[in-house]
Amino acid sequence: MVIGRDTAIGAHVVIEGHTWIGERNRIYPFSSIGTPPQDIGYHNEDTRLILGNDNVIREYVTINRATTKEKWETVIGNSNYLMAYAHVAHDCRLGDHVILTNGATLGGHTHIEEYAILGAFLAVQQFVRIGAHAYLGAKSGIDRDVPPFMITAGPRAKLYGINQKGLIRRGFSQDTIDVLKKAYSIIWRENRSFRDGITQVKKDLEMIPELKMLLDFLISSKRGILR
């Protein structure tokens, strides 16, 4: 176990196993960090949890270390905010500046990219990916990949367009947002297959970095994409 300097650990926090915690983290009372994965195939192997710097872990958050089924590591990046009762399962990977609101639950092997925000009491199924700057509404079930820059909502989550307000807050230009909105319309609103939509977007729109990020995410999806 390694705990970096200036990390503050509250009362009744449990930290177990091979857990590396970086600097300047704030871990609030009754959290459980690095406890064994909730997986019946796990037999006390030497798996790990790696927690970066400047994270806030609020009350009763649970973060499990990994199984042996992937890279033996659960990894949480920097400057994330995990609110009370959030759960990060085995083998998950969180980027930087991710927010899990109260009671948000991640199944094993979930990957979440930077600046994504997940609403309260939301549940993400195993092996799902959440793209950068996505906003996922509360009380949803997420069973497929959520592309970057998107909003989802509903009990069985559906896409509802570009996360325009969130992108404005993050400093994206209106021109960039307009390109992403046009891409969303072509791919999701014009009754095309993903393959045809991607081809049409490449033909019609300027390939700015954000659009390339979106298309690369769609092309690389193994779980399938929310519609």
Residue 90 among the catalytic residues: yes
Q: What is the pLDDT of residue 222?
A: 92
188/226 Cα distance (integer angstroms): 10
Q: Which of 77, 103, 108, 131 is catalytic?
A: 108
Burial call 151-169: b when 16+ CB within 10 Å, e when fewer: bbeeeebebbebbbebbee
Question: Residue 43 catalytic?
Answer: no
pLDDT at 191: 77
Q: Tell me how far apart the alpha carbons of residues 98 and 90 are, in angstroms, rounded to a whole number.
A: 17
Q: What is the pLDDT of residue 20?
A: 97
Domain ranges within the chain, ordered by starting residue:
2-162, 166-220
* Choice among 90, 97, 109, 111 that is catalytic: 90
- C-alpha to C-alpha distance for 48 and 18, rounded to whole angstroms: 5
Angle among Cα 44, 45, 47 to the nearest 5 degrees reads 115
185 touches 206 (CB < 8 A): no
CA nearest to 137, candidates 114, 154, 116? 154
Catalytic residue among 91, 97, 111, 145: 91
Model pLDDT, residue 131: 98
Q: Specify the 3-state DSSP secondary structure of 79.
A: coil
Q: Which helix (H) or strand (E) holds 218?
A: helix 209-220
Give the HSE-up count for residue 86: Cα atoms under 13 Å, Cβ half-sphere. Answer: 26
What CATH number matches the domain at 2-162, 3.40.50.150, 2.160.10.10, 3.40.50.740, 3.40.50.1820? 2.160.10.10
Under 8 Å between Cβ of 142 and 125: yes
Phi and psi of 196, rounded to 5°?
-65, -40
17 given a catalytic annotation: no
- Res 211: pLDDT: 96
DSSP conformation class of 185: I
| Collapsed DSSP state (helix, strand, coil) of residue 8 | strand
Low-confidence residues in the chain, pLDDT < 70: none
pLDDT at 193: 84
The whole-model pTM stands at 0.94
Please tell me the CATH superfamily of domain 166-220, with its number: Udp N-acetylglucosamine O-acyltransferase, C-terminal domain (1.20.1180.10)
